[in-house]
């Protein structure tokens, strides 16, 4: 499925090409999401419809479906669990937007800016609870425990991020731990669930779990970079938002590692001001490029992408393995 260029790297495919093997199942995930987001309470159904209309890449459900197919499972329970992880992800985004005081999500008004924080908190709780009910319906204790654990780790990650706001002493290891909790653990849960649904041994389960973890870390590292380099109309939300919110991500961690005191002071000014009054975004971007911070962050993302591809070596060649091997290239090339 994924072609290879003369230097041995996979060419980038669009996400729709990568997931076409499971597109029918993804359509069923969308239908199930719509059904489960309905409620006798009109406002719940209205906001659930608004969230679904906002779209999204559906990377996590696609991961679970591709992993389950790779491991020989083509059952309905994979569709239910794929919808379950999308509910968890959607709930996390709602709570993130409240914490970040976001006004835009995927190019539209965020739910909290349209309906208020109190309603949004409760809707996030509704989606979390709904996800657990869906997982319970599958009567699989290891998978239920896995989803419960990963949800707790995501919440812990949110708390850690708030605790570290504005902290210029955050290390690369600190940030990697945060990325694992907030993003990569859910990716890893998706691929591990796929392995648990299939008929494979522990070696392949570990390999798919590692693949999801490495892919999720790569995904978030690219997000960190896009926050600095993307155009707002393409990204679908304000750019350079991380620093405005007091978040010190990898590009800034690498910049602070190499910058002189004057450069560090520019970063401090943005963190203190929660904006670009004294220092412009363009000025900080030039500084990051001059010190190679963006290139260093990009190189690290590429290493995790390559590690994810290597995790798949234990599987026999198949169209599903090809699709999973193509996903890191898509993630590295994305612009939103």
Task: Classify residue 172 by burial, with Cβ atoms within 10 Å: 0-12, 13-18, 19+.
Answer: middle
Rounded mean pLDDT, 17-35: 93
- Take residue 40 and report the two structure tokens written for it: 């006798």
Indicate if the pLDDT at residue 336 is higher than 80: no
**Alpha-carbon separation of residue 305 from 95, 215, 318, 330 (angstroms):** 28, 6, 19, 10
Residue 327 has a CB neighbour count (10 Å cut-off) of 26
Give the rounded distance of the alpha carbon of 200 from its chain centre.
26
Task: Give the pLDDT of residue 5.
Answer: 33
pTM of the predicted structure, to 2 decimals: 0.91
Q: Collapsing DSSP states into helix, strand and coil, what is residue 10? A: strand
Indicate if the pLDDT at residue 229 is higher than 90: no
Categorise residue 198: left if φ over 0, alpha if ψ from -120 to 50, beta otherwise. beta
**Alpha-carbon separation of residue 11 from 32, 63, 220 (angstroms):** 33, 19, 21
Indicate if the pLDDT at residue 237 is higher than 80: no
Task: Give the pLDDT of residue 1.
Answer: 38
Length of the chain equals 336
Rounded mean pLDDT, 247-263: 93
Which CATH fold topology does 15-333 show? Farnesyl Diphosphate Synthase (1.10.600)
pLDDT in tens, 74-91: 889 999 999 999 999 999
Indicate if the pLDDT at residue 201 is higher than 70: yes
Among the listed residues 212, 190, 218, the one whose alpha carbon sits nearest the alpha carbon of residue 65? 190
CA–CA dist 307, 280 (Å, integer): 36
State what percent of residues in the chain have pLDDT above 90. Answer: 74
Q: Which residue has the tokens 């210029």?
A: 168
Task: Give the pLDDT of residue 238.
Answer: 62
Rounded mean pLDDT, 128-146: 94
Confidence bin at 10 (pLDDT 50/70/90) = very low
Indicate if the pLDDT at residue 65 is higher than 80: yes
pLDDT in tens, 111-132: 999 999 999 999 999 999 999 9
Task: Give the pLDDT of residue 12.
Answer: 55
- Take residue 1 and report the two structure tokens written for it: 């499925």
Rounded mean pLDDT, 251-262: 94
Confidence bin at 108 (pLDDT 50/70/90) = confident
Task: Give the pLDDT of residue 116.
Answer: 94
Indicate if the pLDDT at residue 7 is higher than 90: no
- Please check whether residue 26 is in contact with residue 334, taking contact to mean a CB–CB distance below 8 angstroms: no
Mean pLDDT of the chain, nearest integer: 90
Indicate if the pLDDT at residue 253 is higher than 50: yes
- Take residue 116 and report the two structure tokens written for it: 């208020």
CA–CA dist 175, 198 (Å, integer): 33
Q: Collapsing DSSP states into helix, strand and coil, what is residue 4? A: strand
Rounded mean pLDDT, 144-161: 95
CA–CA dist 188, 196 (Å, integer): 12
| Residue bearing the bigger pLDDT, 235 or 223 | 223
Task: Give the pLDDT of residue 307.
Answer: 98
State what percent of residues in the chain have pLDDT above 70. Answer: 93
Write out the DSSP string of 199-265: T--HHHHHHHHHHHHHHHHHHHHHHHHHHHHS-HHHHTS-TTHHHHTT---HHHHHHHHH--HHHHH
Give the rounded distance of the alpha carbon of 37 from its chain centre.
21
Among the listed residues 311, 295, 294, 302, the one whose alpha carbon sits nearest the alpha carbon of residue 329? 302
Q: Are strands 104-105 and 108-109 parallel, antiparallel or unpaired?
A: antiparallel
Ranges of each domain in the chain: 15-333
């Amino acid at each position: 499925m994924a072609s290879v260029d003369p230097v041995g790297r996979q060419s980038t495919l669009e996400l729709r090409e990568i997931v076409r093997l499971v597109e029918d199942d993804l359509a069923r995930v969308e239908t199930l999401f719509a059904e489960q987001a309905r409620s006798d309470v009109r406002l719940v159904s209205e906001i659930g419809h608004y969230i679904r209309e906002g779209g999204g890449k559906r990377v996590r459900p696609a991961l679970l479906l591709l992993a389950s197919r790779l491991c020989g499972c083509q059952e309905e329970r994979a569709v239910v669990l794929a919808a379950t992880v999308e509910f968890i992800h959607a709930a996390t985004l709602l709570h993130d937007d409240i914490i970040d005081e976001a006004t835009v999500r995927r190019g539209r008004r965020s739910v909290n800016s349209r309906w208020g924080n109190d309603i949004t908190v409760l809707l996030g709780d509704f989606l979390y609870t709904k996800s657990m009910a869906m997982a319970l319906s599958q009567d699989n204790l290891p998978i239920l425990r896995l989803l419960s654990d990963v949800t707790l780790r995501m919440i812990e990650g949110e708390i850690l991020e708030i605790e570290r706001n504005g902290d210029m002493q955050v290390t690369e290891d600190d940030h990697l731990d945060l990325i694992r909790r907030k993003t990569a653990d859910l990716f890893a849960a998706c691929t591990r669930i796929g392995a648990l649904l299939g008929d494979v041994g522990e070696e392949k389960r570990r390999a798919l779990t590692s693949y999801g973890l490495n892919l999720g870390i790569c995904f978030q590292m690219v997000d960190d970079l896009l926050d600095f380099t993307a155009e707002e109309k393409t990204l679908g939300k304000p750019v350079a938002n991380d620093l405005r919110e007091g978040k010190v991500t990898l590009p800034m961690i690498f910049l602070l590692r190499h910058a002189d005191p004057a450069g560090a002071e520019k970063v401090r000014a943005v963190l203190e001001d929660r904006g670009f009054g004294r220092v412009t975004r363009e000025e900080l971007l030039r500084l990051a490029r001059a010190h190679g911070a963006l290139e260093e962050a990009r190189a690290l993302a590429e290493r995790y992408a390559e590690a994810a591809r290597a995790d798949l070596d234990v599987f026999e060649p198949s169209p599903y393995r090809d699709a999973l091997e193509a996903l890191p290239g898509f993630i590295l090339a994305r612009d939103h």
